Every structure is written in C-alpha cells, then in structure tokens.
C-alpha cells in the first residue's frame, strides 16, 4: 500500500542539521513505540545545496518536495555565502519552495508555556496562558505587487514605491484557512487591515466578511485596524485566538506575537498551500521561525524545541495525527517543567543542557507519557 506519510527533510545550514537530528530521534521513537512508519527522503537546501548542487534549491529538490506529503525544513544561510550576489543567496532556497509549492498561508503560533512565563519581557500576569495563532498571507500583497521600484525624478530626487495589491480570491483562500483553524481552537478570528486608509484593506475587510457570513457564521469574526492590534497584543494579548493578516501586517504582527513568548528557539511555524480538490491533500512546509544561528552552529548548544514543535505541527496538519502531535507538545512541556534549559532560555535555578540532552529528554518524556 502506498505510504501517505511521505516526508521530505531539508536540514539546511548552521544549526539546521543539529536541531533536525533531534527530530529524527522523535521519529525513531514513534517508529519503535507507536508503530508509525514514515517514508523519509532527505535533500539539500540553502548554502549546503549551493556548495554541492550550485543552486540554493535544485529542480530535483522541488520535485521531491512536490511529491512529498509534507516538508520539514531546518534553516538556511550563513557568513560563508553572505558575499554571493542576491540571486544566488541561500535564503532564495526557501523562497523558491514557497513559490513553487504555492504556499500562501503562513501559520505562526505564539504560545506562552507556563514554565517560560518569565522569559517574556511583559509581566507574567499579562502573558500567562497566551495561545495565539497568526495566519499571514505569504505570497501576495506589497512584497510582490507591481509596480515597484526606485526612480529618479526630473529634479534629481529619488522616489521609492511599492504596490499593495490583493485579488479577492487570494483573500478568500487565506481567510478560509484562518476560519478552519479557529473552528479547531477557541472559535474566534481577528482580521486585521487598515480599511480606514487603504483600498486593498477595504477589499480585505469586505471579502473576509462575505466568507464569514456565507461559510463560517459559527465562528466569531472581529475586524481590527492593524495598529490597534499591535497595541492590544502588548496590553491584552489573551483576547486573541486566531489573527488573520495580509503579508505585511501578518509579518509584523507575528513577530510581535512571537516576542510575547520571549524565546526564538521555542517557536515553530507552518506554511500551507491550497487543498487539491481531487486528492484532498495540500502542500505544506514546517520550519522553526529562527534562522541558522551561525554564531552558535557546531557548538552543540542550539535549542531543538522549535524544530521538534514544528514536527508536531506537521503531524497535526499534514498527517492528521492529533494525538501524537499533542503527545510531543506535552513532552516538551514536561521537559521544561522538569527544569532543563538550553542556553537561550536559561533561567536561574534551572539545569543548562545542550542540544542532544534536550532531544533525549523529550524522548524520555514521550516514553513516560505513553507508558
């Protein structure tokens, strides 16, 4: 029988391979203890792909990604490749994958785990219990809209310009992702734009409202101006469940929501494509939000939890393995509650450990939880 758990792993550069190794430990555990077998392929991406294949993401890697049920991505980039021209940089590897797989909905959870509540720069009372999912449209809007450029005017002065443009279908498909997510969470979507000053924002609000009325009346919809949302995230973040935004506002607000948790090494993400109407499947890529951290690469001290939590998202959204996803998330919570910390989340009185010990501890907790 063909596998429906075809997984492509692209470790990338810097700490990418180090943290992905810890996910392999979790995968081995699932194979051993829960009899879940994945069909795994690996590939090169980023700087390591430039070194071997001459390009940050080869056609062969894209083909593998297209035929996989999900892609687990590490991170790319590093000083070795910093002097390359823009069109050859490692970061283009991830951009090509997003574009070629049509990954338009970026999901970034901002979850404040109780043991790490002091890691936030906000007061514990404000952030304790925060559990937000930011859904960002990631292939349209002002980062791609035409015309764009810098021109020199007749008086010799320069003028820079970009275009924020959205087709209603682009808004509708990402809105559906947000509403579907809200149904599985606490049933509320906050859609952000600047409908007061932007035409594309007016259309955004109208289309989200139409989709809501026609298909998701059971979900609560709230419209909020993006600047107000930024303020509310800092003052009353617990009011939010799912935040839906365009490429620009989603980018800024997901970083702000991430900052509430105070720890880059803890945050996973997913980017989803459209559901294929014939197979019911969708392309999806899962990665931590952090980069390749060249400053600590090779030292064995990187926090593997964001990568492991990205794998939990993959189990949930691509393989429908809710129970296993929750188990992995619980194991991470238990390890933190037990006092283990990598250097990036170190707190007084806790035990400092490296990447491998942290990965092993997660597997030990998985064992205990499923005993």
Of 21-29, 71-79, 176-184, 205-213, the window that binds ligand NAD (rule: CB under 6 A) is 71-79
- Check if 227 is active-site: yes
Q: Closer to ligand NAD at the Cβ: 81 or 249?
A: 81
Binding-residue total with ligand NAD (CB under 6 A):
23
Q: Closer to ligand NAD at the Cβ: 251 or 287?
A: 287
End-to-end CA distance of the chain: 30
- Check if 114 is active-site: no
Annotated binding residue 82: yes
- Check if 64 is active-site: no
Q: How far is the CB of 154 from ligand NAD (least distance, A)?
A: 38
**Secondary structure (3-state) at 291:** coil
Q: Which of 28, 59, 227, 276 is catalytic?
A: 227
Q: How far is the CB of 4 from ligand NAD (least distance, A)?
A: 27
Q: Closer to ligand NAD at the Cβ: 146 or 295?
A: 295
Q: Is 107 in the site for ligand NAD (CB under 6 A)?
A: no
CA distances from 220 to 69, 129, 142, 243 (A): 31, 20, 28, 12
Annotated binding residue 206: no
Q: How far is the CB of 269 from ligand NAD (least distance, A)?
A: 9
Q: Are 327 and 309 in contact (CB under 8 A)?
A: no
* Opening angle at CA 269, ends 263 and 272, nearest 5: 170
Q: Which of 23, 92, 302, 335 binds ligand NAD (CB under 6 A)?
A: 302
Rg (CA), the chain: 21
Q: Which of 13, 164, 251, 344 is catalytic?
A: 251
- Check if 166 is active-site: no
Q: How far is the CB of 15 from ligand NAD (least distance, A)?
A: 6
Question: What is the full DSSP assignment across 11-49?
Answer: EESTTHHHHHHHHHHHHHHHHHHH----EEEE---THHH
Q: Which of 344, 358, 362, 366 binds ligand NAD (CB under 6 A)?
A: 344
**Spatial distance between the Cα atoms of 163 and 169, rounded to a whole number of angstroms:** 18
Buried/exposed code over 175-193 (b: 16+ C-beta within 10 A; e: otherwise): bbbbbbbbeebeeebbbbb
Q: Is 111 in the site for ligand NAD (CB under 6 A)?
A: no
Annotated binding site for NAD(+): 78-91, 291-303
**Residues engaged in binding ligand NAD (CB under 6 A):** 15, 19, 75-78, 91, 94, 264-265, 287, 290-296, 302-303, 306, 342, 344
Positions marked catalytic: 143, 194, 227, 251, 255
């Amino acid at each position: 029988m063909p596998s429906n758990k075809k997984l492509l792993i692209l470790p990338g550069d810097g700490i990418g391979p180090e943290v992905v190794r810890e996910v392999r430990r979790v995968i081995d555990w699932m194979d051993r203890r829960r009899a879940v077998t994945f069909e795994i392929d690996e590939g090169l991406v980023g700087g390591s792909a430039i070194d071997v294949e001459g390009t940050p993401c080869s056609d062969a890697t894209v083909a593998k990604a297209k035929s996989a049920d999900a892609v687990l991505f590490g991170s790319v980039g590093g000083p070795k490749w910093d002097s390359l021209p823009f069109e050859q940089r490692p970061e283009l590897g991830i951009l090509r994958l997003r574009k070629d797989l049509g990954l338009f909905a970026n999901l970034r959870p901002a979850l404040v785990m109780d043991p790490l509540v002091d890691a936030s720069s906000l007061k514990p009372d404000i952030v304790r219990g925060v559990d937000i999912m930011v859904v960002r449209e990631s292939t349209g809007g002002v980062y791609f809209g035409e015309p764009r450029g810098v021109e020199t005017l007749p008086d010799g002065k320069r003028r820079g310009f970009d275009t924020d443009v959205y087709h209603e279908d682009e808004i509708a498909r990402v809105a559906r992702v947000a509403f579907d997510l809200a149904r599985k969470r606490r049933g509320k979507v906050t859609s952000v734009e600047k409908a007061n000053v932007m035409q594309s924002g007016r259309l955004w609000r109208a289309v989200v409202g139409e989709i809501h009325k026609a298909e998701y009346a059971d979900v609560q919809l709230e419209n909020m101006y993006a600047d107000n949302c930024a303020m509310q995230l800092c003052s009353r973040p617990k009011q939010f469940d799912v935040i839906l935004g365009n490429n620009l506002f989603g980018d800024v607000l997901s970083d702000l929501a991430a900052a509430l948790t105070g720890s880059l090494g803890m945050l996973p993400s997913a980017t989803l494509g459209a559901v294929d109407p014939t197979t019911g499947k969708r392309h999806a890529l899962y990665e931590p939000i952090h980069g390749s951290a060249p400053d600590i690469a090779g030292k064995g001290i990187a926090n593997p939890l964001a990568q492991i939590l990205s794998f939990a998202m993959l189990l949930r959204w691509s393989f429908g393995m809710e129970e296993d996803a929750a188990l992995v998330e619980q194991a991470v919570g238990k390890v933190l509650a037990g006092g283990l910390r990598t250097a990036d989340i170190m707190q007084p009185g806790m035990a400092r450990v490296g990447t491998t010990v942290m990965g092993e501890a997660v597997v030990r907790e998985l064992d205990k939880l499923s005993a």
